[in-house]
Each structure stands twice: as structure tokens, then as C-alpha cells.
């Protein structure tokens, strides 16, 4: 199973963007495409590995860049600098997500009629915004995302299927935020699921957080494994 990757550069609102595209070269013809949206740090090798894992499942995946070429965050007091810019301008975030999706579907290995998006932490918020904005994806999967609404009106009904994989102890997603998201998606007539994992908090898929001592923020193997399995079934249904 020869999983192949190539750099993918494209223009978008505010500059030039650089991500990584992965696919199984033994599969002939176009196959469903999945956008992988990174966490607070931005595009990195961990996202490329997720794209390769999706390629091994028969998809073509693009680990995208929303911050801009050469703009990557580092752990420390300034970690949120690029994320904060986009949180302050959700319309710009939406437009960069649309540009990333356009770059994915432009690849010859991708069936443009069958696309989805998955995202982690900040990326989990991003993919929910893709559904809210009515971008042309069949489904979105948010892993330990953030659930606040954008400051623009969402489409109704929301056409994309929605899977939210949530760590119940996540300090960024307290029970009232989860309930509000469920109410929002219900009012928008979305086809939605929320999977809540006990004894798991924020960043439960992030292996770099093994041994974390930050309350409510740590890798959790069971939630990681179970949420990936839930995603697999969800994508099969949404993109089949």
C-alpha cells in the first residue's frame, strides 16, 4: 500500500498557504477527499500523519494550513497568536477554510463530489464552522473542538452530517457548551451525533500530551482509539 505525500501550496485570503496532500497510489482514479484541519499550533507533521492514516483507509487527504506559509505557532506564552487572529475574524477563517477545501478538490486524486473535513482542537471549531457556513462537504468530524458560534448567520438547514467527539472533562467544552451546541444543531436541522468520552479532557488525541500535568488537557488512549473508530464509520456513511 504505497502511501504517497506531496507538498500542496495554494493562494487564499491573506496570502499563500502550504500544506501536505496524501493518497494511496495503488488506488486508481478519484476517491473521496478529506480535509484535515490542525490544532492551535498550525500545520505540522502530526497533521501529515493523520492525512496518511486517512489515505491508508482509501481517502485522499489534505493536511491544510490556515495561518499562512511560514507562520507556525510554538508552545509558550505566544502560542495562540495566529489562532487569535482568526478567532477575531470568523469570516476570514471561513474563507480560508473554503480556499483549503478548493485546493483539496482540485487534486486529480479527489472525487470533488465526495468530501469531508476533520479537525482537532481549534481545527474542531473550524470544521463546525464549515458546516455552519454551508461549505460543500458531506460531513465534518470535530475532535475535542471548541463550540462557540461564529458572528455570522449559519445556513439552515445544515446539510453536512456532524460528528462531535468530546472529552467530558474538557475545560474548554463544559456541559453547558455541549448542550448549547446540540440545541444549535437541532434548530438547524442537522444530522448530528455527539460522542462524549468519560475520563477524557481536551487534546485527548494529541500524543504530544502524554503525561501532561495540565488539568483537563492530556492524551487519553481509549478516547483516541474510540473516536477514530467512530470517525471511520461516520466517513464510510457520509462519503459512501
Name residue, grid cell 500500500.
Answer: 1
Number of domains within the chain: 1
112 is in which domain, residue-wise? 3-239
- Burial per residue of 87-108, b for 16 or more beta-carbon CB atoms within 10 angstroms, e otherwise: eebbeebbebbbbbbebbbebe
Strand order in the sheet with 161-167: 3-12, 15-24, 60-63, 31-37, 110-120, 139-143, 161-167, 192-197
In this predicted structure, the answer to whether residue 79 has a pLDDT above a threshold of 70 is yes
pLDDT of residue 140: 99
C-alpha cell at 194: 455527539
Is-cis flag, bond preceding 116, omega within 30? no
Q: Is the dihedral of CA 189, 167, 136, 32 positive or negative?
A: negative
pLDDT 10s digits, 163-213: 999 999 999 999 999 999 999 999 999 999 999 999 999 999 999 999 999
Query: Which pLDDT belongs to residue 212?
Result: 92
CB 99 within 8 A of CB 13: yes
- Coil/strand/helix, residue 89: coil
pLDDT band of residue 2 (cuts 50, 70, 90) is: confident
For residue 224, pLDDT beyond 90 = yes
The answer for residues whose C-beta is within 8 angstroms of residue 172's C-beta and 6 or more apart is: 144, 146, 202
C-alpha 127/C-alpha 149 separation (Å) is 12
pLDDT tens sequence across 93-150: 999 999 999 999 999 999 999 999 999 999 999 999 999 999 999 999 999 999 999 9
CATH code of the domain covering residue 9: 3.40.50.1820
- Asked if residue 161 has pLDDT above 90, the reply is yes
Split at pLDDT 50, 70, 90, the class of 1 is low
Please give the mean pLDDT across all residues of the chain: 97
Amino acid at each position: 500500500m504505497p502511501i504517497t505525500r506531496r507538498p500542496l501550496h495554494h493562494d487564499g485570503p491573506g496570502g499563500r498557504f502550504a500544506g501536505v496532500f496524501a493518497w494511496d497510489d495503488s488506488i486508481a482514479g478519484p476517491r473521496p477527499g478529506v480535509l484535515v484541519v490542525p490544532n492551535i499550533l498550525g500545520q505540522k507533521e502530526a497533521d501529515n500523519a493523520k492525512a496518511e492514516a486517512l489515505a491508508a483507509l482509501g481517502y485522499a487527504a489534505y493536511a491544510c494550513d490556515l495561518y499562512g506559509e511560514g507562520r507556525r505557532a510554538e508552545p509558550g506564552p505566544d502560542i495562540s497568536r495566529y489562532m487569535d487572529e482568526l478567532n477575531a475574524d470568523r469570516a476570514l477563517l471561513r474563507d480560508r477554510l473554503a480556499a483549503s477545501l478548493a485546493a483539496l478538490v482540485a487534486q486529480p486524486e479527489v472525487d470533488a463530489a465526495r468530501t469531508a473535513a476533520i479537525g482537532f482542537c481549534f481545527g474542531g471549531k473550524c470544521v463546525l464552522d464549515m458546516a455552519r457556513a454551508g461549505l460543500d462537504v458531506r460531513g465534518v468530524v470535530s475532535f475535542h473542538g471548541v463550540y462557540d458560534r461564529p458572528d455570522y448567520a449559519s445556513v439552515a438547514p445544515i446539510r453536512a452530517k456532524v460528528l462531535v467527539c468530546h472529552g467530558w472533562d474538557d475545560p474548554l467544552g463544559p456541559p453547558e457548551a455541549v448542550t448549547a451546541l446540540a440545541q444549535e444543531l437541532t434548530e438547524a436541522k442537522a444530522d448530528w451525533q455527539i460522542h462524549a468520552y468519560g475520563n477524557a479532557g481536551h487534546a485527548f488525541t494529541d500524543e504530544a500530551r502524554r503525561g501532561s500535568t495540565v488539568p483537563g488537557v492530556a492524551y487519553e488512549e481509549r478516547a483516541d482509539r474510540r473516536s477514530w473508530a467512530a470517525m471511520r464509520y461516520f466517513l464510510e456513511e457520509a462519503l459512501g
